[in-house]
Amino acid sequence: MNPFEKANIGGAEIKNRFVMAPMISNLCNPDGTTDENHIRYLEERARGGFGLIITEYAYVDDSNGKGSPNEMGIFSRSQLPKLSRLTERIHSAGSKIFVQLVHSGGKANPHYNTGKIFAPSSVDYIGSIPEEMTKDDIKKVEEKFVNAAELAYRAGFDGIELHGAHGYLLQEFISPALNKRTDEYGGSVENRIRIINEISSAIKSKLNMPLGIRLSLYEDDEDGYDADYGIDVASRLENMDYVHFSSGRFAPPGSSASFYYDNVHIGAKLKKKLDKNTMLVGSIRSMEDIEKALTVSDFVVLGRQALADPYTPVKIKMKMPYRVCIRCNQACRNLANAEVRCTINPYTGIEETIQPGRKYHGEIAIVGSGIKGLEAALYSANKGFKPIIYEESSFGGQFNEIIDKYKKRDFTPLIEYYRSMLEKYGIEIRHESSNTGIFCLPDKVYPDILDMGDVSIDTNIYRYFDDALRIAEKNKVIMSNNSLNSLERSRVTGYRRLAEKAGIEFKDMDHYDFKLYDSSQYDILEAMKSGRRVIENYILENETEFL
């Protein structure tokens, strides 16, 4: 299937098969209202060619439905003006926009809610036990969803998606492991999905607009349901114009698999297309991935790839290089504490700061071809300069020191992107040293520990995670469990598995004498920002010369 073909969902015409996934951004205000930066963030993806934008999950109940600090909300008429601005801007950029509705249920964060935290059943939710919902609670939640749908209609959204995945309330009803009820809302598939069918029926009776659901095709948890159960659920859901397949409940990897997981898409567990529109998400980055997904799905959903390069659809169509998501799960997953960012796109989450800028001319020398130097070269070329890169050793700088084979596999496309862009801009690389020019050597080089023999490490530095694997080939390595706190859960699981296979032991700090190896992280994003910064500083110091 051609991803650039038009398609129809419940009467809404979508200009192509590219969908931006709903992803937590924390770009909204603490009261759930959208703002200019949140709008620009979504608008940039619409400009980049996505036929359909699905907003991040929007909580429908401000008493106990909120899951993250600055989550988008849709529960009050007072939110309509700003929501209308959002839909207006996405439409002006040529895309359709659906809003995803959620109640966080047992995953609702007590820090951001004033009401009781409840779920279908009072079972363990990763260390907390919510109250069991009464039938009155269920009816009130259904009313909240319908109210939110009516607000979405008034605000100009083109469609509605219910969030029935990733351990939130509707999936809590679907999941046999979480739903232990013995009344008409539990005990069988029909009963577990009753709340969803009641919500969808009420929405469709009031509104003539597309309605779909995001559904975990399977759960990764040990007691999770499999794909056959997920397909059975999807086939029984009523009033749905589409099903958006994701995966997972609480356990990693879920839909945001890190580079430690083979790039096997959720679609591999779909035996055939359903008799309704389907969307598919999960580590989809390349044209090969897209084509594979479209063999079992009508739409392809890009999540982290839309953060890495918002213009991915346009660039694919024009056969241009684009930044490929490296599945690092760093800046995009630190959402308990920060807004969304992307390790390989310095503009993600701060799109409001993008300015056209003045064009310059003239030749400039850039010394160093690590990430800092490569980003400086592209940034300067985009501003009109003619950069020349001087590199006396190997192209890619510290990237060549990556030992972790999984990381190397998924990080390599970033270096390939830079090679392609240097060729596109006609940027020359001279394999020689230079004593003049803009020096783009790394801002931070970590002390070498490879020849220290047996080591005990307490660190949050990604570089030392790689070094530990190399040291373990010949020496004893002990790492603190605390070291892994800097990693997202999917990476913790993957790295621990890889490290223990290499013979690395993990111990608590209370029982072992660890040496601390640095704490200040200098990563890809910091290198990119630094590369752009040196160009900006160079312009400030020499602007009149290049106008």
CA distances to 44, 211, 300 from 246, rounded to whole Å, are: 24, 17, 11
CA 378/CA 426 separation, integer angstroms: 11
Nearest to 258 by CA among 111, 42, 404: 404
Q: Which residues contact 129 (CB under 8 A, 6 or more apart)?
A: 122, 123
Residue 368 φ/ψ region, left for φ over 0, alpha for ψ in the -120 to 50 degree band, beta for the rest: left
Confirm if 535 and 380 have CB atoms less than 8 A apart: yes
What is the Cβ-side half-sphere exposure of residue 283, based on CA atoms within 13 angstroms?
Answer: 22
Q: Which residues contact 436 (CB under 8 A, 6 or more apart)?
A: 365
Q: Helices (DSSP H) in 390-429: which residue ranges? A: 405-425
Confirm if 525 and 308 have CB atoms less than 8 A apart: no
DSSP-derived letter for residue 233 is H
The dihedrals phi and psi of 175, each to the nearest 5 degrees, come to: -75, 120
CA dihedral 424, 425, 426, 428 (to 10 degrees): -120
CA 538/CA 275 separation, integer angstroms: 59
Q: Enter the tokens of residue 138.
A: 């269920």
3-state class of 52 per DSSP? strand
Which run of H or E residues covers position 302?
strand 299-302
Residue with tokens 């913790």: 492
Cα 247 from chain centre: 14
Q: Which pairing describes strands 72-73 and 299-302: parallel, antiparallel, or unpaired?
A: unpaired
CA 319/CA 300 separation, integer angstroms: 18
Confirm if 134 and 195 have CB atoms less than 8 A apart: no
Q: Which residues of 270-304 are buried (b: 16+ CB within 10 A; e: fewer)?
A: beeebebbbbbbbbbbbeebbebbbebbbbbbbbb
CA 442/CA 249 separation, integer angstroms: 40
Nearest to 167 by CA among 251, 239, 85, 101: 251
| Catalytic site positions | 168
Residue with tokens 């809003």: 99
Residue type, 323: R
The gap between the terminal CA atoms of the chain, to the nearest Å, is 48
CA 205/CA 202 separation, integer angstroms: 5
Q: Enter the tokens of residue 14.
A: 């979508």
